[in-house]
Amino acid sequence: MKISNLRVTKFLAYSQLILVCALLIVILYINKLLPISVLSFFVVLMIYSFINTKTVTFECSGGCVTVRKAHPFTYKKFISPEFELPYTHVQHTIITKNLCATKVRLNIKSNKDKKYSVKVTLLGLSQTEKKKLSDALKLIENKNLA
């Protein structure tokens, strides 16, 4: 099962680019409405959010949970995983569903009995994708409890 938010993050990235261009045009031509410092702040804020926009691919297959993160305009054929861990290391999962973002928290137990927590934010998932994700993680959690 593979869930990705590529379509939503690409739309968000294109929207941010258009907004930055519009703000730059406003700064150049119509700078009497707001001070340049205010408009410059919004341009810097939009560029910062554009740079930090990430596409997240959450994959549960082959006995491993894999998370890959990349910028929406990355055109690589292979994106190396942010982390990859076997199902047996996942102890507990917590899924928090908000209006536009889903936060997944995986509690992990390593071979040396150390406990870790990994948090992943998935922006713009549909209801069916959220349902698939929660079902897959519950299945993994139930396998480990048995």
> What domains lie within the chain, and their CATH numbers?
1-145 (2.30.29)
Percentage of the chain modeled with pLDDT above 70: 96
* C-alpha–C-alpha distance, residues 97 and 75, integer Å: 29
Provide the edge-to-edge strand list for the sheet that holds 55-61.
2-4, 55-61, 64-70, 83-86
Tens of pLDDT, residues 38-74:
777 878 888 888 888 888 888 888 888 898 988 888 8
**Token duo for residue 37:** 């410092």
Report pTM: 0.75
Quick one: pLDDT band at residue 32, thresholds 50, 70, 90?
low
**Token duo for residue 43:** 């341009």
Q: Which residues pair with 105 in a beta bridge?
A: 94, 119
Q: According to the model, what pLDDT value does residue 34 have?
A: 67
Helix (H) or strand (E) holding 8: helix 6-29
